[in-house]
Every structure is written in structure tokens, then in C-alpha cells.
Amino acid sequence: MNRPLSVYFPSATEEMERLLQSELQSGNEEHPVEVIYGKDAPAAPTYEVLITGRPSEEQLRASPELRVLLIPFAGLPKSTVEVLADFPDLAVHNLHHNAAPTSEMAMALLLSAAKEVIPLDRSLRAGDWSARYDSKAGVLLEGKTALIIGYGAIGRRVATVCAAFGMTVVAASRTGATACDPSPVELISIADVAPRWPQADFVMVCAPMTPATEGLIGEEQLAALPDDAVIVNIGRGPIIDERALYESLRDGTIGAAGLDVWYQYPEDKESRTSTQPSEYPFHELDNVVMSPHRGGHTEAMELLRTRYLAESLRQYAATRTMPWLVDVTRGY
């Protein structure tokens, strides 16, 4: 039997430790994986893989055997980019265990916003059936065009569901190319997206937050959309200009929005029940469905995370390769 792959996971909760050990027990005995837990680094550390989203410089320097930083979530924090500047040879990987629940949230927001579920629910709770007799009864999805911004693990799932609803699907990515290319989807480059805004009945923002995507959708892009367009953001708030989005919704430049990501977040536990997600009063608008950035949350979230972690570690132990390589210079 080979020497075990040594892994250090300083931020694991008791639940994650239990689940990960259970997953790894079913691994290949010829390529064992040994995980060390706890905030205190092991004496004379020789770990080859470090699992954490926000590593300290000490953790990165402690083991002369360190080859891989495995971030146990999707994305790349700015603080991590900064500390990695001194470690250019370190391979960085992350997880996409949140793809299924986040894409489900995207579709929930799309349907809720397009079908006016929230105001209809509120009216009927008050005994008001007026909307049943209104000729405008929500937006039809079938036969419309969905423009998906970002075509990674989440964007591909969203594209598949949109196509299943009978929509024409256009997906914009950095290059316009991908290894996974379902036939119903037209792939284009972000650089070529400008002519597509007027054709987009629905815009699904599934892109990561990077210098290239911050502010990607502003006043000009929102004004180019059809006036009944629905926009959904499950990427990051600042991908869409905050003021422009609010004013477009308030003034009816676009029809509706479903938002799971925001511009202001609670700074501590005490402020979790008293923090508005924007300096603009989105909460006063009936054409906005609001969700507190929990798209990837599900009762199975930690189980999914540990399964993906175990898959990555088993693959690395056997082949010294790992899925979901991150390009630190690009931010994803």
C-alpha cells in the first residue's frame, strides 16, 4: 500500500469531519488519504493538500510538501488571492457541490418573478381575487429567449432547464467555448453579448465575481432589454450595477427581478436581523423577489460538500490530478 496522502483541514466542523471520514472510508485502499483536523497545525507538518478557503501565510508555508490548496466552496475570496501572490507554484482548486441547489434557486426566482407569485400570494391572503380576472397574468416562458451570463457548473444546469421549458437559450462565457456543449444552447463570448440584450426576455446571471464581471451589467445593458424582461442574479450582486438595477425596476425599464445576491451584508451576528441588502429600497418594489444569498443552501449541503471533497482527494491520491482547477489571475 502507498504512503497515505496527507491532508490538513483546519476549519472542518465536527459534522464535516464525521461526513468526510465516512466518505473516505469507501476509498481505494491502494491510495489512502489521511486527513488531519484542528486549528493547530500538526507538529513537523508534511501535508500535501491544505483544505481551507482563507489560508494564512503560516499554513501555506508550514509544510514543505504542500502542493494543493483545496477551497471547500465555489469562488475565490479576495483575501485568498492576495495571500496567494507569494505562492505562484501552488495549485488551487475549489468545489462545485453547490451547483444543483443554486441552479434550483435560480429557477425558483425566475418562476416567482415571471409569474408574480409573491404579490399574488400577498393579495389572496387578504382575500383579494382581483388578479384572477386581470388579463395580464404573468410572463410566458415558452418560446422566449433566455440569456445566461456565465456557463460553468451552475449555468449549464440552468441552461438545460430553460431549454426544457421550451426557451431559446443563449449562453455567454469568457471564451464562448466549453467542453460540455448541450445542443439546445447557442454559445457566445461575453465580448459578443452586446447585440443580444434586446433579444433577451430573461437574463440569468450565473457568473463568478471577477474584475472582468464586476459592473458587467449597467444602465446601458438594462435599458437595452425588453421592457418586460426578467433578470435573475445568483452570481454576485456587483455584477449588476446597484443603482441602475433599482431604477430600472422602479421605473419599469425592465419587468421584474429575482435576486439572491446583494450589495450589503450583515457585519456581525447582531446585525443579521437589521441589515437591508442595499442602500436602495428594493424591498418596496412589488416586482422584485428577494432571497438572502442562500442559493447553495440545502439540507444536504454538508453531505454534498464532503462528497465532492472526498472525490477530489481520492482522485489526487491516485493520479496527482484534481478537478476544478482555479486560475488565480482570473479569479475563477
CATH number at residue 175: 3.40.50.720
C-alpha cell at 275: 441589515
- How high is the pLDDT of residue 82? 93
Using only the alpha carbons of the chain, give its radius of gyration.
Answer: 22
- Per the domain annotation, does 325 fall within a domain? no
- Per the domain annotation, does 119 fall within a domain? yes
**Do 86 and 170 fall into the same domain?**
no
Res. 39: pLDDT tops 70: yes
**Do 153 and 281 fall into the same domain?**
yes
- How high is the pLDDT of residue 28? 63
- Per the domain annotation, does 327 fall within a domain? no
Compute how many other C-beta atoms are within 10 angstroms of the C-beta atom of residue 101. Answer: 19
What's the whole-number average pLDDT of the chain? 93
**Do 280 and 304 fall into the same domain?**
no
- How high is the pLDDT of residue 179? 54
**Do 197 and 128 fall into the same domain?**
yes
- Per the domain annotation, does 329 fall within a domain? no
**Do 250 and 271 fall into the same domain?**
yes
**Do 199 and 117 fall into the same domain?**
yes
% of the chain residues with pLDDT over 90: 83
Mean pLDDT over residues 62-87, rounded?
A: 94
Instruction: Give how far the C-alpha of residue 149 lies from the chain's centroid of Cα atoms, to the nearest Å.
Output: 12
**Do 132 and 191 fall into the same domain?**
yes
Range of the domain at 253: 99-290
**Do 82 and 103 fall into the same domain?**
no
* pTM of the predicted protein model: 0.88
At a CB cut-off of 8 Å and minimum separation 6, what does 186 contact? Answer: 168, 169, 170, 171
- How high is the pLDDT of residue 184? 82
- How high is the pLDDT of residue 53? 95
Res. 234: pLDDT tops 60: yes
State how many domains the chain has.
Answer: 2
- How high is the pLDDT of residue 217? 98
**Do 24 and 113 fall into the same domain?**
no
- How high is the pLDDT of residue 331? 79
In the numeric block, the cell 418573478 is attached to: 113
Reported as a pLDDT band with limits 50, 70 and 90, residue 138 is: confident
List, as one string, the DSSP characters of 90-155: -EEE---TTHHHHHHHHHHHHHHHHTTHHHHHHHHHTT--GGGG-S------TT-EEEEE--SHHH
Mean pLDDT over residues 25-32, rounded?
A: 77
How do residues 169-205 score in pLDDT, each as one tens digit? Answer: 999 998 776 555 556 899 999 999 999 999 999 999 9
Compute how many other C-beta atoms are within 10 angstroms of the C-beta atom of residue 234. Answer: 30
Reported as a pLDDT band with limits 50, 70 and 90, residue 25 is: confident
% of the chain residues with pLDDT over 70: 97
Please state, in angstroms and rounded to a whole number, the distance separating the CA atoms of residues 102 and 195.
28
- Residues 323 and 152: beta-carbon distance below 8 Å: no
**Do 75 and 208 fall into the same domain?**
no
**Do 168 and 50 fall into the same domain?**
no
